[in-house]
Amino acid sequence: MAKTMLLIAAASASAGAAVTALLLGKRDGQSQPAPTIPPPPPPSTTKSSTPVLPTTESIQRSPKNIIDPSGWFSYGAPGPTNDLASRTSFISVYDRRMRNPAWVAEHITAESLSGAKGDRKNSVFLEDQAVPENFRARLKDYFRSGYDRGHMAPAADAKFSQQAMDETFYLTNMCPQVGTGFNRDYWAHFEDFCRRLTAKYRSIRVITGPLYLPKLDSDGKYRVSYEVIGSPPNVAVPTHFYKIILGESETAPSLTASVAIGAFVLPNAPIDNKTPLAEFSVPVEMIERASGLDFLSLVPTERRRSLCREVDCSIVVREFPKRPPKVVGDK
């Protein structure tokens, strides 16, 4: 039974290698060949009495097009639009449809973690006014939802300045996360694991985001199902979260040096702290296929090293402060 499938079907469900094959487009370890498209038949040389409709190519060459689909853009461009935000300690892209970030990329070093100018007790959760109101995640969406406002770029990674700390509390850096057993426990220990990597590598880059993965139903079919919180329902609750971690020997990216890579997918559910982190290790390609994102297209295979072969991929259980920051409007 493949361990990665425990993540894809559900935290508590059993799954096999077939689901990995489903997401990766592989079977028995082999990539499935692309479907062969037969070449078009040669043009007929016989005349037909049946009227021949103009092709798209002929319409485009025609001085007077009979249709103009691009005319729609005179009224507005439908998108999709991704809201890019460049913050002090991270860069994020916001998914308007899910009201969650699609990805959040951050850079941490031993130096950046050594500062103590930022304190989360001075930070407040904020709606991101840069996102149009109609597509904005709201504080009230989380109210009594049963979920935490879970950071993608952790506040603890931004202690080097109060501004950097404050920016991590925008809702465009948040997703609904299960609190006890996950956001306040295993996920927090996982974030600490990333910070501890700075003891070995001069530079750590982390990209984090939500996933909405299929689950095997009782009828033998796979379906994607997730909760939506808010009134009206507004913010999607991810089924899983991913982190891709890069360990660099230099503080600046190199076009020639190799890089240590670790990719992990965790279910948005309580996880026993005794569960080895390595159980959630997956190929980067699985996350790319599930998310529709391309993370490491400029890193050839010969420059990729396995993070978990160089370090002990395990969490250290620590007690973290349970004091939440204030919300704007709190007294």
CA distance 179 to 188: 10
CA distance 298 to 291: 18
Coil, helix or strand at residue 144: coil
Decide if 194 contacts 243 (C-beta within 8 A): yes
CA distance 244 to 267: 15
Residue 176: both structure tokens together: 């609904």
- Total H helices, total E strands in the chain: 9, 17
Could you give the strand order of the β-sheet that contains 203-211, starting from the edge strand earlier in sequence? 82-86, 90-95, 100-108, 203-211, 240-248, 259-267, 304-306
Q: pLDDT tens digits for the chain (331 residues)? A: 444 444 444 444 334 334 444 444 443 444 444 444 444 444 444 444 444 545 545 545 555 689 988 999 999 999 988 899 999 999 999 999 999 999 999 999 999 999 788 999 999 999 999 999 999 999 999 999 999 999 999 999 999 999 999 999 999 999 999 999 999 999 999 999 999 999 999 999 999 999 999 999 999 999 999 999 999 999 999 999 999 999 999 878 888 899 999 999 999 999 999 999 999 999 999 999 999 999 999 999 999 999 999 999 999 998 756 555 566 644 3
Put simply, whether the predicted model's pTM sits higher than 0.85 gets the answer: no
CATH superfamily ID and name for 80-280+289-325: Extracellular Endonuclease, subunit A (3.40.570.10)
Nearest to 260 by CA among 245, 250, 276: 245
Q: Is 183 annotated as a binding residue?
A: yes
Bridge partners of 246, per DSSP, are 205, 261
Half-sphere exposure of 213 (CA within 13 A, CB side): 33
Active site residues: 151
In sequence order, the 6+-apart residues with CB closer than 8 A to the CB of 88 are 158, 161, 163, 164, 167
Decide if 170 contacts 158 (C-beta within 8 A): no
